[in-house]
Structure 1
Amino acid sequence: MPEVDLVFPRAYVEFVNPADESEVLRCDLTWLTSSFMCIFGQGCQGIYADAPDVGCCTLGAHFADKDDEKRVAAYVGMLDDELWQQKPKGRKVRTNDWVEVDEDGERKTLTTIVDGQQACVFHNRNDFHLGAGCALHALAYVIGKNPVETKPDVCWQLPIRRTFRTVERQDGTTYTEVSIGEYDRRGWGPGGHDLDWYCSGNTEAHVAVEPVYVTHEAELVALMGRAAYDELVRHCDAHVRSRSALALHPADPH
């Protein structure tokens, strides 16, 4: 089945963050209770047809802020030749070995071209002894961490999308709306519509046994906080018990 339409009926829930009353969480129940899972290495076609084994790592990862880059740098220092195919040989890793500045002055992970395919410098190719995949992701399992801790923010968040908006009530008070939903191809900006394949709306990737809010607990806790996540689980559980056909993600098996 081809990728589903980007616009379809969705169910949402809003609730005050139990840990911060100035925040209201607005969560996409349709996405969070869907059967999506990352299928990298299990049928992922890559966002570009000429790089099917690279997944969504073709363009490198923009750092959210200085703290994001600093955190990743600490783990880059732990990578060895067994985990990182493109690790510089015979010397200490320098920042410019893995960080570059794009045309807009934003810092991101370096991209390199190997055998004609562009990808993030941390993406190990098929001929590596570990196979294709992220060196920082592999490191997480070696040192007993979750990849949420070792990878750039944008990498572990995808395809969950968190956005912030200031909302003014009729009485003049304001609150911060924190939206948690699906990072579909529109989230990539105008260029997202040019991607040759994208996972979140494809039936091929909606094959998980458990829903997103369960399989992505670590990511959601990092994005929302534990108290808000626990409240989200309560709403998702209720939604799963009562949802109608209109509340199902169209890429889910029916």
Structure 2
Amino acid sequence: MPEVMMGFPRAYAEFTNPDDETEVYRIDLTWLTSRWECIFGNGCPGIYADRPHDGCCTLGAHFADEDDEKRVRKAVKQLTPELWQYYKEGKKRGWVELEDEETLTRGEEPDRKTRRVDDACIFLNRPGFPAGEGCALHHLAVKQGRHFHETKPDVCWQLPIRRQFREVERTDGTSYTEVSIGEYSRDGWGPGGHDLDWYCTANTDAHHGKEPVYVNNKPELVALMGARGYELLKQYCEEFESRRGTLLRHPADPPR
């Protein structure tokens, strides 16, 4: 099925962060109540047509900050050859690389990211690997009975939820930090998003989940906004769903 075009109407709700009165959450009700669900290994064709088994792991993961990389490093130390296909490669030559040379020519500080080996992220187990294809760090979390947000890079466990920060000044001269919680849509990848052959968040093939995003992705949302913030988000989503409107629902969802 075709991907729905960006720019469709959305519904939002705003509320003060119960743990920090200087922050205001702006949540995308249309996305959070959608029936999107990750279909990696279940029909996902990958973001590039010539890499159908990679999902969105082809490019490697950029670390958000030092804490992000530190958490992943701790998880990597717990990986074994049985869980990680590129264990020897990672141990011998490392699993972190700097972003491409273009950033250096622009005079910018290059980002640190997971290495690409054989044209995809070094942590991606390829089809046929005994422990299973997909992220080795994800497999580690499952084996240890943890949620994968404790082992994977921030961008990987958050996707396709996107958290953004913006400073807002009121007309009375006061200000607050707006924290938006919404869809990591194709444009979230920057200009390169236009080059993706396939992307899931607005594709009808990935909108057949039994539960809405705010329920199915509760652990990620709690990690992003805290337990009390999530409870308020849940209330707003439930109220929005109770109206059963159609104008502001996600257009990639099946009819209800």
Check if 1:20 corresponds to 2:20: yes
1:113-148 C-alpha deviation (Å, 9 max, x unpaired): 1xxxx1100000002012320000000011111001
Contact 1:11 1:247 in 2 (8 A): yes
CA RMSD of the aligned region, Å? 1.1
Q: Which residue of 2 aligns with 1:34?
A: 34
The one of 96, 99, 106 aligned to 1:99: 96
- What is the DSSP-based 3-state SS (H/G/I as helix, E as strand, rest coil) of the residue aligned with 1:181? strand
1:37 deviation in Å?
A: 0.4
- 1:119-130 counterparts in 2 under 5 A? 119-130=120-131
- What is the DSSP-based 3-state SS (H/G/I as helix, E as strand, rest coil) of the residue aligned with 2:224? helix
Letter aligned with residue 45 of structure 2: Q
- 1:151-170 counterparts in 2 under 5 A? 151-170=152-171
Check if 1:238 corresponds to 2:239: yes
- 1:111-150 counterparts in 2 under 5 A? 111-113=116-118, 118-150=119-151
Partners of 1:52 and 1:132 lie apart in 2 by 12
1:176-234 C-alpha deviation (Å, 9 max, x unpaired): 00001000110000010110000001111001100000010011111111111110000
Check if 1:110 corresponds to 2:148: no
Runs of 4+ in 1 over 2 A off after TM superposition: none
Partners of 1:239 and 1:201 lie apart in 2 by 20
Partners of 2:5 and 2:99 lie apart in 1 by 32
- What is the DSSP-based 3-state SS (H/G/I as helix, E as strand, rest coil) of the residue aligned with 1:21? coil
1:84-126 C-alpha deviation (Å, 9 max, x unpaired): 001017xx936x521001133110000011xxxx110000000
Partners of 1:147 and 1:74 lie apart in 2 by 13
Partners of 1:42 and 1:212 lie apart in 2 by 18
1:24-64 C-alpha deviation (Å, 9 max, x unpaired): 00000000000000000000010000001000000000000
Letter aligned with residue 254 of structure 2: P
Partners of 1:183 and 1:5 lie apart in 2 by 14
Partners of 1:61 and 1:229 lie apart in 2 by 26
Alignment size in residue pairs: 247
- What is the DSSP-based 3-state SS (H/G/I as helix, E as strand, rest coil) of the residue aligned with 1:93? helix
Q: Structure 1: which 5+ residue stretches go unaligned?
A: none
1:243 deviation in Å?
A: 3.6
**Aligned-residue identity in percent:** 62
Q: Which residue of 2 aligns with 1:249?
A: 250
Q: Which residue of 2 aligns with 1:203?
A: 204
Partners of 1:204 and 1:152 lie apart in 2 by 26
